[in-house]
Amino acid sequence: MWRLILISVLSMSCTKHQFVEPPEAIQENEEPTNKRIDSQRAGLLKLGEPIPKSAFEGALQGWDYSTYWDQGYFVDRDLRMVYVDVADAVLLMSPKHTLYQVLLGPSYQTETGVRVGDTLQNLKSAYEEVSVEAYALSQGLIYRPDRVTWDPSRLNGPWTEDQDGWKTLHCAASTPALPGVRFLFERCEALEATSRVEAILITSQSDAELLPVDPILDLQTRRPCPEARTDDVDALVTQAEFEINRAKMGDYYATSSLRVGLPMLRDAALSGAHEAGARYATILFSYIGIDVIGDPLDRPMSQGAQESLFFWILAALKTEESEEDEGCFTALLDFETPLTEDLFEDDGEHDVGECAWLLTYPWLGGVEGVEAIRQQAHAWSSCWDQ
């Protein structure tokens, strides 16, 4: 049965889904348009909030938040990089479509006039206290929106190679006057008074939007069996399927429908309906592992990816297996044999290990994460025996 689950997942690889609709909370920002940097905002872009519509004024072809989001990609486990040319900014959006981090072009400046391209001496003259520390900016990030040359007709992008003069940045200066703001340089060991600020990064001081929602997994500690979430599992599964398929057009799911139906499937699975768990895992994997467009429930990508693998394994353990099979799932279900690094080996050009494809995506927590997920599934497989 679990082999059929995997086949059904892979058969959905050509399925496309509607864009994850931005929250209705996106509103116009009433403050005047400016390019001032402080600890909470950069002009109209305020950390911890959705992007105001006015930030897209002047965009070609009437592009809006959803259009720019669709051209972005995930650069961290749970953050999506969105390049907005008209805002002279690179946005790092949370699963809830709020701004968690932002990298700014030279049109922005602090209250004291410091901007990208200024020297370390300029920074120290503007602020009484400045400290320097090693800080590695993610390798997948573009950080100078003003230097990006990109054809918007491309399906995805831009990438780091589209930024003129892109290089790795490993050093950050900061000041207590601007908590959460980092002025990035290339290397601390070569830092001089004349070294220039390569990028400015502002980070939200709250991680609330990055936390899992109603978590059932803990990669460090195995959780006890869950309490049933319904007295009528069959009715809940029926209602879930009705909601999931509401407004569906061909192979296109309406995101608004998934937001209603998927939590129902999840509750049914946590109440012992293992086929509902397999269905839940299939949809999650299609969104996260194939289309890579985000968790349809606006949760961290890591939560959706980990739950997808967890419910796959749990369904395989609780469903009759009709035939022997080989490959990654055989290894995952062999609890007498610990997982080894060679199962996930990838030489950079093609998968070598049978499970290498699992770690193509960073959200599972590596080999240790996969091991923790399968061990909790194994432990929970006896939760509904009575």
Q: Give the model's pLDDT for residue 76.
A: 80
Task: Output the six-digit token pair for 216.
Answer: 């059932």
Q: Return d(Cα 63, Cα 71) in angstroms, integer.
A: 11
Q: Return d(Cα 248, Cα 288) in angstroms, integer.
A: 19
Of the listed ranges 188-202, 219-233, 281-295, 348-362, the least confidently predicted one is 348-362
User: Is 26 a residue whose pLDDT tops 70?
Assistant: no
Closest CA to 293 of 371, 285, 257, 220: 285
User: Is 24 a residue whose pLDDT tops 90?
Assistant: no
**In the predicted model, what is the mean pLDDT of the chain?**
87
Q: Give the model's pLDDT for residue 289.
A: 83
3-class SS of residue 257: helix
Q: Give the model's pLDDT for residue 351.
A: 58
Report DSSP letters for 40-108, one per residue: SEETTEETTSPPPGGGGTT-GGG--HHHHHHH-EE-SSS-EEEEEGGGTEEEEE-TTS-EEEEEE-TT-
329 pLDDT band (50/70/90 cuts)? Answer: confident
pLDDT digits (tens, 9 = 90+) for 185-195: 999 999 999 99
Of the listed ranges 57-61, 67-71, 273-277, the least confidently predicted one is 57-61
Q: Give the model's pLDDT for residue 10.
A: 36
Of the listed ranges 271-275, 341-345, 375-379, the least confidently predicted one is 341-345
Q: Give the model's pLDDT for residue 321.
A: 53
320 pLDDT band (50/70/90 cuts)? Answer: low
3-class SS of residue 114: coil
User: Is 19 a residue whose pLDDT tops 50?
Assistant: no
Q: Return d(Cα 151, Cα 164) in angstroms, integer.
A: 14
Place of tokens 């699963």: 95
Ordered structural domains, the chain, with CATH: 2-16+212-380 (no CATH), 36-209 (2.60.460.10)
Residues with Cβ within 8 Å of residue 303, at least 6 apart in sequence:
212, 213, 215, 217, 295
User: What pTM was computed for the model?
Assistant: 0.85
Average pLDDT over residues 76-104: 94
pLDDT digits (tens, 9 = 90+) for 248-305: 888 889 989 999 999 999 999 999 999 999 999 999 998 888 888 889 999 999 999 9
H-state helical runs in the chain: 2-10, 65-71, 120-126, 233-245, 255-269, 274-285, 301-318, 328-332, 366-380
Average pLDDT over residues 321-345: 79
Question: What is the share, in percent, of the chain residues with pLDDT greater than 70?
Answer: 88
H/E run at residue 203: strand 199-203
Q: Give the model's pLDDT for residue 7.
A: 40
188-213 burial string, b = 16+ CB within 10 Å, else e?
A: eeeeeeebebbbbbbbbeeeebbebe
User: Is 5 a residue whose pLDDT tops 90?
Assistant: no
Contact of 345 with 353, CB cutoff 8 Å: yes
Closest CA to 362 of 77, 111, 100: 77
The full length of the chain comes to: 386
Q: Return d(Cα 377, Cα 223) in angstroms, integer.
A: 10
Q: Return d(Cα 105, Cα 35) in angstroms, integer.
A: 10
User: Is 198 a residue whose pLDDT tops 60?
Assistant: yes
Q: Return d(Cα 198, Cα 203) in angstroms, integer.
A: 17
Of the listed ranges 29-38, 99-108, 268-277, the least confidently predicted one is 29-38
User: Is 201 a residue whose pLDDT tops 90?
Assistant: yes
